[in-house]
Amino acid sequence: MTDIAKRMQAISPFRVMEILARARAMEAKGRDIVHMEIGEPDFVSPQPAIDAGIASLRAGLTHYTAAAGLPALREAIAAYYAQRFGVSVDPAHIIVTPGSSGALQLVLGSLVNPGDEVLLTDPGYPCNRHMVSLFGGVPVPIAVTADDGFAVSPRQLRDAMATRTRALMLASPANPTGNLIGVGDLRDLNAVLRRNAQAVLICDEIYQGLQYDSEPETALALGDDNVVVINSFSKYFGMTGWRVG
């Protein structure tokens, strides 16, 4: 049997998918299962999205698209950010990917050289550190606790930064802690991060809008050129199986 590359052997399994497989096997046997293992709504995609998808297929729109995504879709995403958040995003700066994980791989593959360090919260989404390692980067955990609202402080960021720091990865709302990071706090953190001219702030906003005690915000409101935002249609729009990020 062919050996698997060592870099892949070092990646631990994504346990939630194993749990999901077990749960679905139990469902297939007639068990009534409440799914709390994976970040997915328990209802189908919105009817307008379904209707638009069917119409596109019937219209023959089944061929390759531009590498960065349909121009009309990128323009619509830019319009969405302008309308909802009051931020201006050039459609040329928007890339549509097969899911937000694909977007994160593109970002890390574009930024991280072997030995570069990427700062992440601990706890955090487990796949992030594996993606950093896949490109030869070094994931550096920053411990967050319930006592501080699972938030990274500017002091913690200063202590964690080094000459090889390439990026700080944050999520708001965060998985699994639910932490929300306001634009003011992001601005304070990015002021520290920008002391390293090569450091980039990567913000995972795929759960954006799924909060009920405050209005959603976006890191794009900072207007800084070292900010990359990753978003998705999966969570807020209930389109997980469509794989569009």
Helical packing angle, 100-111 and 126-134, nearest 10°: 40
pLDDT tens for residues 127-179? Answer: 899 999 999 999 999 999 999 899 999 999 999 999 999 999 999 999 999 89
CATH number at residue 167: 3.40.640.10
CA 229 to chain centroid, in Å, comes to: 8
Let me know if residue 187 belongs to a domain. Answer: yes
Between the two ends of the chain, the Cα-to-Cα distance in Å is: 36
Q: Considering the domain boundaries, does residue 141 fall inside one?
A: yes
pLDDT reading at 189 higher than 70: yes
How many domains is the chain partitioned into structurally?
1
Above pLDDT 70, what percent of the chain?
100
Count of C-beta atoms within a 10 Å radius of residue 156: 18
Domain range for 155 is: 71-242
Q: Please report the pLDDT score of residue 57 as a whole number.
A: 95
Confidence band of 185 (pLDDT split at 50, 70, 90): very high
Is the torsion defined by CA of 98, 101, 104, 108 positive or negative? negative
Indicate whether 19 belongs to any domain. Answer: no
* Per-residue model confidence (pLDDT) at position 6: 78
Q: What is the pLDDT of residues 203-240, one digit of tens each?
A: 999 999 998 888 999 999 999 999 999 999 999 988 88
Q: Which backbone phi and psi does 25 adopt, to 5 degrees?
A: -65, -40
1 falls in which pLDDT band (50, 70, 90)? low
136 belongs to a structural domain: yes
On average, the pLDDT of the chain sits at 92
| Encoded tokens for 55 | 């119409």
State the Cα–Cα distance between residues 129 and 12, nearest whole angstrom.
10
48 belongs to a structural domain: no
Q: Looking at the chain, which runs of residues are DSSP E strands?
A: 117-122, 138-143, 165-171, 200-204, 227-230
Q: Has residue 131 been placed in a domain?
A: yes
pLDDT tens for residues 46-84? 999 999 999 999 999 999 999 999 999 999 999 999 999
Q: What is the pTM of this model?
A: 0.91
**Both tokens assigned to 98:** 């097969």
- Higher-confidence residue of 228 and 24: namely 228
**Residue 239 CB partners (closer than 8 Å, separation 6+):** 45, 46, 49, 233
In a domain, 1, yes or no: no
Per-residue confidence band for 2, with pLDDT thresholds at 50, 70 and 90: confident
Residue 120 lies in a domain: yes
